[in-house]
Amino acid sequence: MDNVIGLIPAGGHARRIEPLPCSKELFPIGFLHRHDEKHGHPKVVCHYLLEKMRAAGITKAYIVLRQGKWDIPAYLQDGRMFEMHLAYLMLGLPYGVPYTVDQAYPFVRDAIIAFGFPDILFQPDDAFIKLLAKKAASNADIMLGLFPADSPQKVDMVNFDKNGRVRQIEIKPRQTQLRFTWGIAVWTSVFTAFMHEHLAVIKGSAAGQPELSMGHVIEAAVSSDLRVEAVIVSDDPYLDIGTPENLLKAIRNVQ
């Protein structure tokens, strides 16, 4: 799928699970051949995201790194283990994921973007296939892939109507009646341009503010009347391995 480019932020510090012997995106979770632990190679966390992108026909992706995370390109190299073409960009402003992915703007400004987090595990394997199919049938500027939320107070909760139109993003609400959060997304050049321009406006005060999340930018897009839609892609919550308890859960789940 030549017109779709994967975009993956890998600029985090993993402070909640320090110390690690590697970047958290490379922490081994399972084996490439699940039933052959004796002879199989370890399967690292980000492998799961990349293989789901590849299953959807995505063959190109940019991974945005911060200084010091050289083990990621050293391990993934040019992407041949996924039959993909991978390239790497360096994080600029350290103010949150939107600033991280905006580093790719000159390279992806006209592309359809498939976005995912490399430290999140999710099912099903065809999640991006479902999301791209829904996007192809819609004129949405951004399409969110939804998952049931098991900890609503820790994530972006999505308020959407029966037609899938997103009305609001509730960011880490203390209490909510909403049931779904988003974990993956597909967007067009309209949202790419909106995010680039939005960040340019607010970056002057970003250094003194809490870290910006993608949910903040998506909520700004909703408020600016961009067409934001959502579709449920999974019946199960995703698993963010960025906490000790979830990392242990991930290790146990693949045994």
Q: What is the pLDDT of residues 196-221, one digit of tens each?
A: 999 999 998 888 888 999 999 999 99
Distance CA 172, CA 161 (A): 20
Q: What percent of the chain has pLDDT over 70?
A: 95
What are the Cα distances from residue 216, in Å, to 6, 35, 96, 97, 230?
21, 41, 10, 10, 16
Is the pLDDT assigned to residue 14 strictly greater than 80? no
pLDDT for the residue 207: 84
Mean pLDDT of 91-113: 96
Mean pLDDT of 26-42: 70
Q: What is the pLDDT of residues 222-251, one digit of tens each?
A: 999 999 999 999 999 999 998 888 888 888
pLDDT for the residue 243: 84
Q: For residue 251, count CB atoms less than 10 angstroms from its CB and return exposed for 0-12, middle for 13-18, buried for 19 or more.
A: middle
Query: pTM for the whole thing?
Result: 0.93
Number of domains in the chain: 1
Which residues does residue 154 pair with via DSSP β-bridges, in sequence order?
A: none
Sign of the torsion formed by the C-alpha atoms of 201, 7, 86 and 252 = positive
pLDDT for the residue 20: 80
pLDDT for the residue 69: 96
SS3 158: strand
Q: Which residues constitute the domain of residue 237?
A: 4-253
The CATH number for 148's domain is 3.90.550.10
Average pLDDT over the chain, rounded to an integer? 93
pLDDT tier for residue 1 given thresholds of 50, 70 and 90: low
Straight-line distance from the first to the last Cα atom of the chain, in angstroms, rounded to the nearest whole number: 33
Contacts of 175 (CB under 8 A, 6+ apart): none
Tokens of 228: 């934001």
Is the pLDDT assigned to residue 37 strictly greater than 70? no
Is the pLDDT assigned to residue 39 strictly greater than 60? no
pLDDT for the residue 135: 96
201-231 core/surface letters (b: 16 or more CB in 10 A; e: else) = eebeebeeeeebbbbbbbbbbbeeebbbbbb
Is the pLDDT assigned to residue 85 strictly greater than 70? yes
pLDDT for the residue 2: 62
pLDDT for the residue 250: 84
One-letter amino acid identity for 198?
H
pLDDT for the residue 244: 82
pLDDT for the residue 162: 96
Is the pLDDT assigned to residue 40 strictly greater than 70? no
Q: What is the pLDDT of residues 110-160, one digit of tens each?
A: 999 999 999 999 999 999 999 999 999 999 999 999 999 999 999 999 999
